[in-house]
Structure 1
Amino acid sequence: MPVSPRGNALGPVGPEDAARPVEPVGPDDSVILHTTDNGVSWITLNRPRASNALTPEQRERVISRLVQDSADPAVRAVVLTATGRAFCAGADLRAPAAQRPGPPAGRVAGDVARVIRRGAQRLIGAVLDCEKPVIAAVNGTAAGLGAHLAFACDLVVAAERATFIEVFARRGLVPDGGGAYLLPRLVGPRRAKELMFFGDALTAAEAERLGLVNRVVPEAELAGAARSWSDRLATGPTRAFALTKQLVNASLEMDRTAAFAAEAAAQEINMATEDAREGVASFVERRAPVYRGR
């Protein structure tokens, strides 16, 4: 049965959701569900029995969906969530050998690096590079690559029972999926090392305290919280959001001169948009602005 943004892990399915078709995304559309509702693209991981551990096929479908949403003017915000009791348990290491996110037997030098670049790093890059705001609605455990998938999103709403786990050291592995890039920028290098060295599970409340999560809500309210924010974003100045996201993401790698230059360039670009003109006009006319994402 199709799962709507209000259904399964994110609350009961209503009659309006049952009538809304879920867009097919491949020959087997059950592992990734998608629907667009009022300008919001809902991408739902749907392998609950595998704790939504990502197979390469699943990963590629999420990347493809994010790339399409980024370019689609009808999409103005994205929500990434999952069904079941887990958000994403990371890469699926229990899949058949041909589907595992790793190099084949008899690999040669460079194979592992190529797999990481083409796989986990592309997934995280697709979230960071998406020109629309991306909200993670974390319904349960987010481990390894699954945690990094949430951390790469622009906003994170988590259910109270959600946990975040840097599992790599437990398995004798180095973090992938941009973890060593994302975490120090979110919590600082010392705290990032603590999380990565020990691999202790963070509760949603602890993750919120550290700044990894924006808001923690009861499980029954997760859908409403994600929908409230995504609806607000979908009626906002889409191009201004895209430029703001770009500036913030790049800011920690720039000196002040470069950051100020990037800001001025973004202002130049944005002032040519219809939404910027509407924002100024609505202020002068003392009315609420009506943004169209252009």
Structure 2
Amino acid sequence: MTPSNPPSPAEGRITTEAQGYVLRIGIDRPAKRNGFTPAMLRALAEAYTRLDDDPALRVGVLHAHGDHFTAGLDLPSFAPLMQRGEYAVPHGLVDPLNLGDAGWRRRTKPMVVAVKGITYTLGIELMLAADIVVAADNGRFSQLEVQRGIMATGGATLRMAERAGLGNALLHLLTGDGFDSAEALRLNFVQRVVPTGSELDEALRIAERIAQQAPLAVIATRLNALKSVEQGPLAAMAEFDTVQQRLANSEDAKEGVASFVAKRAAVFVGR
């Protein structure tokens, strides 16, 4: 287990803990309902970058300490950055919002998220930017930027419409209303709803299952599905042959065949 070196408690912190192939990433400012400061967002980007850069890690799990996932941005601390048009994450790091803006890296490895209690604004955008979301049944969600005189610019306007359809997205984006975990599941914002208190265990179970698969194939599959959503099916199909040829010549593909013949569990090495 490798804990992170977090910023000061007053600013909040992001904890990290490696458990085998899985990196647990924790939002830790419960006294402020895990409201994000600029230092926390930068630390989150650093944790995502660690996940992508460490060959010993295969899957990330984003979760929260305390009773709530996050109330979103701590607006007083972010207002000066917004007014200057600046982002708290420096160029060169993996952007936790995965928007593909020039200067920031996009995550390649899978991210599973466990949400609970309050999940507002940035919290929704972080979970929609991830890959699989497990929600506690006490979830309370709101994309309420319009109530603060600003717009959601972390991906909500894009991904809520993509997941739920334009009308459903605008219903929540334009009213800033609150909705529960059942509604989040109906809108495809989360993939599973579980009893409160079991959401992290379920997210870790899913992550461990992903980590048992061939790492190169997992990354290629994730990126191809993402390309299909963002660029269309034809763009995703165009890379089928080249990607499959590269994967078929990997050590893991040979292990996949050998384990199939021997009727045993495969042991993948990521090469």
How far is the alpha carbon of 1:255 from its aligned partner? 4.2
* Inter-CA distance 130–122: structure 2 relative to 1 (3 Å threshold): closer
Whole-Å Cα distance in 2 between the matches of residues 236 and 101 of structure 1? 43
TM-score (norm 1): 0.82
* Inter-CA distance 247–83: structure 2 relative to 1 (3 Å threshold): same
How far is the alpha carbon of 1:276 from its aligned partner? 1.8
Counterparts of 1:226-245 in structure 2, within 5 Å, are 226-245=203-222
Q: Does 1:198 align with 2:175?
A: yes
Are the aligned partners of 2:7 and 2:39 in contact in 1 as well (CA < 8 Å)? no
* Inter-CA distance 240–27: structure 2 relative to 1 (3 Å threshold): same
Q: Number of residues paired by the alignment?
A: 264
* Inter-CA distance 159–254: structure 2 relative to 1 (3 Å threshold): same
Whole-Å Cα distance in 2 between the matches of residues 146 and 61 of structure 1? 15
Aligned equivalent of 2:46, options 31, 43, 64: 64
* Inter-CA distance 222–255: structure 2 relative to 1 (3 Å threshold): closer
Whole-Å Cα distance in 1 between the matches of residues 233 and 211 of structure 2? 31
Equivalent residue for 1:14? none
Are the aligned partners of 2:35 and 2:71 in contact in 1 as well (CA < 8 Å)? yes
Look up the equivalent residue of 1:200 and give its one-letter code: D
Look up the equivalent residue of 2:246 and give its one-letter code: I
TM-score (norm 2): 0.88
Are the aligned partners of 2:132 and 2:190 in contact in 1 as well (CA < 8 Å)? yes
Are the aligned partners of 2:13 and 2:43 in contact in 1 as well (CA < 8 Å)? no
Equivalent residue for 2:96? 123
Are the aligned partners of 1:63 and 1:126 in contact in 2 as well (CA < 8 Å)? no
Q: Does 1:132 align with 2:109?
A: yes
Q: Which runs of 5+ in 1 are unaligned?
A: 1-19
Equivalent residue for 1:165? 142
Percent identical among aligned pairs is 30
**C-alpha RMSD of matched pairs (Å):** 2.5
Are the aligned partners of 1:82 and 1:138 in contact in 2 as well (CA < 8 Å)? yes
Measured against aligned partners, the alpha-carbon deviations of 1:89-115 in whole angstroms (never above 9, x if no partner) come to 1111144xxxx25438xx6xxx32x44
Equivalent residue for 1:23? 4
